[in-house]
Amino acid sequence: MSGAKPLEIIARRAALELQDGDVVNLGIGMPLLVADYVPDDIQVYLHTENGLLGMGPPPDSDHVDPQIVNAAKQPVTERLGASYFDSASSFAMIRGAHIDVAMLGALEVDERGMVANWTVPGRAVLGVGGAMDLLAGVGKLIILMTHRTRDGVPKLVRQCRFPLTGIRPADVVITELAVFRVDKDGLVLTELQPGVTLEQVRAATEARFRLAPELVAAGAAG
Amino acid sequence: MSGAKPLEIIARRAALELQDGDVVNLGIGMPLLVADYVPDDIQVYLHTENGLLGMGPPPDSDHVDPQIVNAAKQPVTERLGASYFDSASSFAMIRGAHIDVAMLGALEVDERGMVANWTVPGRAVLGVGGAMDLLAGVGKLIILMTHRTRDGVPKLVRQCRFPLTGIRPADVVITELAVFRVDKDGLVLTELQPGVTLEQVRAATEARFRLAPELVAAGAAG
Amino acid sequence: MGNDVAKGKRMTAAEALARVKDGATIMVGGFGLVGAPLHLIAELERRGVKDLTIISNNLGEPGVGLGRLLQLGRIRKAIGSFFTSNPDVIEAYSRGELEVELLPQGTLAEAIRAGGAGLGGFYTPAGVGTLLAEGKEVRELGGALYVLERPLRADVALIKAHKADELGNLVYYKTARNFNPLMATAARWVVAEVDEIVPVGMLDPEAIVTPHLYVDAIVLPGQASTPVPKEASQA
Amino acid sequence: MGNDVAKGKRMTAAEALARVKDGATIMVGGFGLVGAPLHLIAELERRGVKDLTIISNNLGEPGVGLGRLLQLGRIRKAIGSFFTSNPDVIEAYSRGELEVELLPQGTLAEAIRAGGAGLGGFYTPAGVGTLLAEGKEVRELGGALYVLERPLRADVALIKAHKADELGNLVYYKTARNFNPLMATAARWVVAEVDEIVPVGMLDPEAIVTPHLYVDAIVLPGQASTPVPKEASQA
């Protein structure tokens, strides 16, 4: 493992999933970091569910417009070609699969790729935001999360203990240790982050997963 | 009966149903004439379901913009304060009861106030337009029609022979002979057009109807 | 449905909210405080109405906007999508003083739109298989599962727009638009707090977001003839 | 979902419609001929595709717009709200050459919107108790009766807008807007015929009606590199 921080490793790798022309929703929190790592040779368009397509980076402190915010209510900017719309129109884009990619955080992902990212058991259910709409609707669902909790508990689990966000599985899960794709049979480990061994991933993962052919060929299984 | 044409009598009387500030949909055909008779001292706002609030009169031939049309696809104009919107937004206004008054033509109205105004029996059903949405949704539904067909057949009938446009009754029916209101028990004759006698109305009407108290008091029943 | 008054939609906040009674269901625009009608909320506070059901994405921040009404105990029930950003909501809920109905954000928006559009309900994929679908009809349509959601309507909607013309046509500003145009369609009495009122004809007919038929009252806070008490004006 | 191509959405009509195959379901904007993409329809004719299902409010006029495709026998089925203005539809239907699915105009609009918005269906009061509700689920919700209507989607949408920017953001012109913005959301491949293409940044972000994510191809007819045959260009 390199000296980079886990979140930076995750965001950097996640940015490589983007293709030229993609319309992308980065949810709130850590995935917003991905915007800083989008390769220079591609153009992506950021959608924020509170009603803006064409979101730009946070403004410097002299140019804050408090009425231009992202889904986390933080000030952002507007890029050339941006447009504003109401919340029903914004979620029509989301549910209707007009957003190519969403990158969301998660509390847990199970071995079928099911995602829990909106609440914890036993606590009053008082907030969900756009999590369920995004999960149900976007074209490609990429989950970004640390491989374990701060207490070292694996977040890739056999079955989620936390309430699910929906019945649609993630397409890709990216952690600071590895990249998994999800197919109809569940998680497939496709890539180890630089310097990470398969043993490290196994030790940090509760969910069962298969190895992608390219990883086997590269000898990771050894 | 005065020397005025039936359609003019109907349109002139219908205009008196309008109140200052009303948003009004005049459908297609004869009710469009009502716009010519709106009293000078009130302001109404015409909605046309193809996507315009604030419709003005037809342009003179030098000022036709073929892309500003009414629901009958005839050229119209735009008044100050007008707005344009898509068809879903336009019908949201209609179904959501945001249109105060619709004035529509009809083939038949039955004695409960049910309306048949979109197709005839036995013919292929190939056109409905906005008739059913308007009937189901507008605030006040006023039907304008001649009292009988050209062949002298009453159009206010016991039960419609023509397919119904919906299950919502008209609020008011205006013909060249009389004005009826509809309450939970059915048609109530509230007014005779100038020069028309109750006997003339009875002779031209198949539907059963009651007399409004004011008509009885005025001696029309004699 | 601002149809009973052709002219004279311009009012003070006090006039516009005179009809709001205890127990009213009120939609309040805004995403957090962005696009929230803060002056109208302050007037609600001043009027002292209580037992309110509030339909809004959030309940403001502690002591600010709707959060102020919450602190004062005026809100009986909240319908929205994200209340955890205001710790007072969690407290009031856990003390049993606040009822909460939580909807996915897209469902909240769509339900308000459906209320305004005269629809009886709609099927959405959001929430299927989750705690938020419990007790709701889930149905397979065209090979996928959907939850039946019902329209939302209110007695009053308090919204924030950027500009109004004298007829009540509205345009919005940036991401302050959010739920405001939807709520304008879904209440019996719709009050718009605006930054500016312009003469009829000054708004581009192609760019009007809320046509005037949806708006009953326009309030320009700077012109309020009713003094707002100090503690409220901090909101 | 014009997402696979960041740039280069500008195409000739021939390029934009190259993927349209026999048997395709195609949404076509317009209210009658107002806001109908006549150049794209002419290109459909030129391509000779047949067995089409057309979703459009009308089928043009005799020999004009979609009416031309009908005369040529290219349309197998029409889904819309008002076909009686074109006598050719009545004839083709009575000869058994055309299948027709009729919807109330508001239901047609809402069904297209639902298709674009990822909804599984909606309940509308329009049509309850009529011939058009026969065979459909009718249900009481909140004390009133509603018909369940299903979303509409298409392989291709052909729409007419006024201006596009190079990204594909669109604005419309007057009552030529009608079904066009809705259809832009509800097809796998969306082609916009426009009067003008402007640089990115020239359209007001508050006034854009169709954000670029809905648009796959922009066609400026004057710049078509493909010659249109004479009989088609009359449309």
pTM above 0.90, yes or no: yes
Q: What whole-number distance in Å separates Cα of residue D106 and Cα of residue A109? A: 42
The tens place of each residue's pLDDT in chain D, 235 residues long, gives 344 444 589 999 999 999 999 999 999 999 999 999 999 999 999 999 999 999 999 999 999 999 999 999 999 999 999 999 899 999 999 999 999 999 999 999 999 999 999 999 999 999 999 999 999 999 999 999 999 999 999 999 999 999 999 999 999 999 999 999 999 999 999 999 999 999 999 999 999 999 999 999 999 997 644 444 444 333 3
C176 at interface of A, judged by CB pairs closer than 8 A: yes
What backbone phi and psi angles, to 5 degrees, belong to D82?
-150, 100
- The per-residue pLDDT for C4 is 43
- C121-124 and C99-102 as β-strands: parallel, antiparallel, unpaired? unpaired
Q: At residue B162, does pLDDT exceed 60?
A: yes
pLDDT digits (tens, 9 = 90+) for B100-111: 999 999 999 999
Here the tokens at position C39 are 């002056």
* R_g of chain B, CA atoms, integer Å: 18
SS3 C126: coil
Question: What residue type is assigned to position A221 of the chain?
Answer: A
Name the 3-class secondary structure at A102: strand
Which long-range contacts link C134-143 to residues 24+ away (Cβ below 8 Å)? C139/D120, C141/D120, C141/D121, C141/D150, C142/D120, C142/D150, C142/D151
The verdict on a CB contact (< 8 Å) between B81 and C201 is yes
What pLDDT is attached to residue A122? 84
pLDDT at B82 over 50: yes
A6-217: which CATH topology? Glutaconate Coenzyme A-transferase (3.40.1080)
C128 vs A contacts (CB less than 8 Å): 136, 166-167
Predicted confidence (pLDDT) per residue in A32-83, tens digit? 999 999 999 999 999 999 999 999 999 999 999 999 999 999 999 999 999 9
Q: Which residues pair with A188 in a beta bridge?
A: A181, A210
What's the complex ipTM?
Answer: 0.96
* Strands of the sheet with D138-141, listed across from one edge: C138-141, C144-149, C121-124, D121-124, D144-149, D138-141
Distance CA B56, CA B52 (A): 10
Q: Is C143 within 8 Å of chain D by CB?
A: no
DSSP string, B116-166: E-S--TTS---B-TTHHHHHHH-SEEEEE--SB-TT--BSEESS-SSPPS-
State the pLDDT confidence band at B220, using cuts at 50, 70 and 90.
low
For residue C222, what pLDDT is reported?
A: 77
Helices (H) and strands (E) in chain C, counts: 7, 12
Beta bridge partners of A116: A108
| Chain D residues 34-93 with a CB less than 8 Å from chain B | 34-35, 57, 81-85, 89-90, 93
Amino acid, single-letter form, for residue C72: L
**Closest to A175 in 3D by CA, of A158, A159, A156:** A156
CB-CB under 8 Å, A81 with D116: no
Which of C130, C132, C185, C214 is best to mutate for the A interface (most A CBs within 10 A)? C130
Which of C:96-125 have CB within 8 Å of A? 100, 102-110, 112-113, 124-125
CB contact C136 to D (< 8 Å): no
The verdict on a CB contact (< 8 Å) between C128 and A163 is no
Looking at residue B41, its pLDDT comes to 95
A124 in contact with C, Cβ within 8 Å:
yes
Q: Which long-range contacts (CB under 8 A, 24 or more apart) does B192-199 make?
A: B192/B220, B193/B1, B193/B9, B193/B13, B194/B1, B194/B2, B195/B1, B195/B2, B196/B1
The pair phi, psi for residue A23, each rounded to 5°, is -100, 125
**Pairing outcome for strands B140-144 and B108-110:** unpaired
Separation of alpha carbons A69 and A50, rounded Å: 8
With 50 as the cut, is the pLDDT of residue A206 above it?
A: yes
| Residue C178 CA: distances (Å) to CA of A32, A183, C171, D101 | 20, 36, 12, 36
Q: What is the pLDDT of residue A218?
A: 77
User: Token pair 């459908």 is at which residue?
Assistant: B27
Q: Which of D215, D166, B89 is nearest to A93 (CA)?
A: D215
Identify the CA nearest to C119 among candidates C148, C149, C151, C147.
C151
Max Cα separation, chain B? 55
User: What's the whole-number mean pLDDT along residues B116-134?
Assistant: 93
Helix (H, G, I), strand (E, B) or coil at C56: coil
Tokens of B206: 């198949």
Query: Are the C-beta atoms of A102 and A27 separated by less than 8 Å?
Result: yes
Of A54, A84, A98, the CB nearest to D214: A98
* Token reading at B97: 């009861």
User: Is D174–B78 a contact, with Cβ atoms under 8 angstroms apart?
Assistant: yes
Q: Do the Cβ atoms of C165 and C198 come closer than 8 Å?
A: yes
Distance of CA B56 to the CA centre of its chain: 18
- Within an 8 Å CB–CB cutoff, is residue D119 touching chain C? yes
Measured CA angle at A23 (ends D12, D169), to 5 deg: 45
Split at pLDDT 50, 70, 90, the class of A221 is: low
A94 touches chain C (CB under 8 A): yes
Contacts of B184 (CB under 8 A, 6+ apart): none
**Tally of residues, chain C:** 235
pLDDT value of position C223: 60
The average confidence (pLDDT) of chain B is 95
* Residues near D70 by beta carbon (within 8 Å), at least 6 away in sequence: D59, D60, D86, D88, D89, D92, D98
Residue among D119, D200, D213 minimizing CB distance to A98: D213
Beta strands in chain A (DSSP E): 23-25, 45-48, 52-56, 77-84, 101-104, 108-110, 115-116, 140-144, 156-157, 172-174, 178-183, 186-192, 210-211
Give pLDDT, residue D225. Answer: 45
Tell me whether residues B98 and C208 touch, CB distance under 8 A.
no
CA distances from residue B169 to C126, C171, D127 in whole angstroms, order as listed: 37, 37, 13
A183 CA: distance to closest CA in chain D (Å): 22
CB C190 within 8 A of CB C224: no
| B81 pLDDT higher than 50 | yes
D95 in contact with A, Cβ within 8 Å: no
3-state helix, strand, coil in chain B (%, to 5): 20, 25, 50
Cα–Cα distance, C93 to C99 (Å, whole number): 6
- Give just the sign of the alpha carbon dihedral A141, A142, A146, A148: positive
Low pLDDT (below 50) residues in chain C: 1-6, 224-235
Cite the active site residues of A: 49
What is the mean predicted confidence (pLDDT) over B162-188? 98
Summarised one tens digit per residue, pLDDT across range A127-160 is 999 999 999 999 999 999 999 999 999 999 999 9
Is C166 in contact with C197 (CB distance < 8 Å)? yes
User: Mind telling me how many Å the CA of B167 is from chain D's nearest CA?
Assistant: 6
DSSP C61: B
Q: Which residues on adjacent β-strands are paired with residue C34? A: C31
Give the whole-angstrom CA distance, residue C10 versus residue C223.
10
